[in-house]
Amino acid sequence: MDCDAKHNLRLGPKLAVLTLLWLPSSTMADWVGETRPMMGTEVSVYLWSDDPEAGRVTIDEVFQEAARIDVLMSTYKDDSEMSKINRGAAESPVTISQELFQLIQRALDISLLTQGAFDITYDSVGQHYDFRAGRRPDATTVASEVRNIDHHYVELDDASTTIRFRQEGVRINLGGIAKGYIVERGIDIVRARGIENAIVTAGGDSRLLGDRRGRPWMVGIRDPRNDDEVVLSVPLADEAISTSGDYERYFDEDGVRYHHIIHPGTGEPASGVRSATVFGPDAVMTDALSTSVFVMGVDKGLRLIATLGDYESIVIDAKGRVFFSDGLQQPENQTIE
Ligand code: ADP
Ligand code: MG
């Protein structure tokens, strides 16, 4: 165990999932924040502003940006760029925006990094799930569609900014990095307005700017089997943190949990892990890596994280045991409050 770890974890079963401290202020400067339901989850923005009115305008801009990205990436809206790709890219190259091109490029790079655990073509099978309706593909559908899961089927052409699928039936979905991208872009907006302390959260993905004015932000990791409890909380500043869990979008059938993180090798929901948390400098990476560690499992997942100097991870396995990446101090070494 590395005792020079920069992150000290503290057990805090009663802490709120995201502990935000609202400091009273004698001046005009204050914390301002807002939470809105979006993309089947909640997006929230909190920031410290010298001018709370201007702060609220900035918050609105962040929500507008989140809505724009949601439309850009949506596979549900027929006229979105993503829908155009999924309809036409197997037939002929589809011209796309620079922004989407670069995001897909990043997703493919992460597939290589994670040896295919992260794979946006998961949606070849993923499209047949409807978690709200409790619907899942039958074994025959999974067996035939799993053959369309392989990031190598996605071909990007830099010169023409086009995308092509090498195989009929392939479908892509950026759900594994969309929220990370939203919070990263949100913090870019906030920073450009001169704000130095902020947190933008979309579902399980957060990006923190600065600290909580003199103290770190405390980000709680939820107990995967108890909504109201936090297993531990992580003090962080100027970092991103993402959690992927089997409790976000799921249904249970005959004692089996069917959730939204698909193992690209089997086409079935990945098993063995209840939640994977990753933190580090970039929210697109933490978002993709939390999904990847979830798929890879405790051993392979933490081995991957150990190769990435800037990133750390906390994994809760199917038995509820908590595992830490090498750079973290175990809470056993800490004073329990
Ligand atoms: P959340 O969206 O709840 O924050 P994650 O960050 O773990 O959770 O992302 C899960 C989403 O990623 C799924 O809803 C789906 O859109 C997408 N996804 C599922 N399996 C994979 C995979 N193997 N590779 C890439 N993306 C995936
Ligand atoms: Mg993720």
As a three-state string, the secondary structure of 257-300 is EEECCECCCCCCECCCEEEEEEEECCHHHHHHHHHHHHHHCHHH
Sort 229 into a burial class: Cβ within 10 Å, 0-12 / 13-18 / 19+.
Answer: middle
- Name the pLDDT band for 93 (thresholds 50, 70, 90): very high
Compute the distance from residue 175 Cα to the ligand 1 centre, in Å.
5
Identify which of 69, 291, 294, 316 to mutate to test ligand 1's pocket (most ligand atoms within 8 A of the CB): 291
Q: Are 243 and 237 in contact (CB under 8 A)?
A: no
- Name the pLDDT band for 4 (thresholds 50, 70, 90): very low
What b/e string do you get for 250-272 counting C-beta neighbours within 10 Å, with b at 16 or more?
bbeeeeeebbbbbbbeebbbbbb
d(CA 304, CA 117): 11
Percent of the chain residues past pLDDT 90, beyond the cut? 82
Residue 70 region, left (φ>0) first, then alpha (ψ -120 to 50), else beta?
Answer: alpha
Is the shortest distance between the CB of 261 and ligand 1 below 6 Å?
Answer: yes
Compute the distance from residue 180 Cα to the ligand 2 centre, in Å.
7
Ligand 1 atom closest to the CA of 262, numbered from 1: 20
Is the shortest distance between the CB of 129 and ligand 1 below 6 Å?
Answer: no
Task: State the fold for domain 21-73+177-324.
Answer: T-fold (3.10.520)
Sign of the torsion formed by the C-alpha atoms of 329, 291, 319 and 226: positive
Tokens linked to 198: 């902020």
Give tens-digit pLDDT for 211-253.
999 999 999 999 999 988 999 999 999 999 999 999 888 899 9
Is the shortest distance between the CB of 328 and ligand 1 below 6 Å?
Answer: no
Parts of the chain belonging to CATH 1.10.3980.10:
81-165
So what's the pLDDT on residue 227?
A: 86
- Name the pLDDT band for 77 (thresholds 50, 70, 90): confident
Sort 150 into a burial class: Cβ within 10 Å, 0-12 / 13-18 / 19+.
Answer: middle
Is the shortest distance between the CB of 96 and ligand 1 below 6 Å?
Answer: no
d(CA 237, CA 225): 28
Is the shortest distance between the CB of 175 and ligand 1 below 6 Å?
Answer: yes
So what's the pLDDT on residue 248?
A: 83
Tokens linked to 247: 């409790």
What length does the chain have?
Answer: 337
Compute the distance from residue 57 Cα to the ligand 1 centre, in Å.
31
* 3-state secondary structure at position 8: coil
The yes-or-no verdict on residue 23 having pLDDT over 60 is: no
Is the shortest distance between the CB of 123 and ligand 1 below 6 Å?
Answer: no
Within 10 Å of residue 112's Cβ, how many Cβ atoms? 11
Q: Hey, whose CA ends up nearest to atom 3 of ligand 1? A: 248
Tokens linked to 144: 């035939």
Which residue's structure tokens are 């038995």? 319
Compute the distance from residue 291 Cα to the ligand 1 centre, in Å.
6
The yes-or-no verdict on residue 182 having pLDDT over 60 is: yes
So what's the pLDDT on residue 22?
A: 55
d(CA 310, CA 238): 12
Compute the distance from residue 295 Cα to the ligand 1 centre, in Å.
10
Compute the distance from residue 299 Cα to the ligand 2 centre, in Å.
18
Parts of the chain belonging to CATH 3.10.520.10:
21-73+177-324
Query: What's the CATH architecture for 81-165?
Result: Orthogonal Bundle (1.10)
Give tens-digit pLDDT for 106-139.
999 999 999 999 999 999 999 999 999 999 999 9
Is the shortest distance between the CB of 287 and ligand 1 below 6 Å?
Answer: yes
So what's the pLDDT on residue 116?
A: 98
Sort 241 into a burial class: Cβ within 10 Å, 0-12 / 13-18 / 19+.
Answer: buried
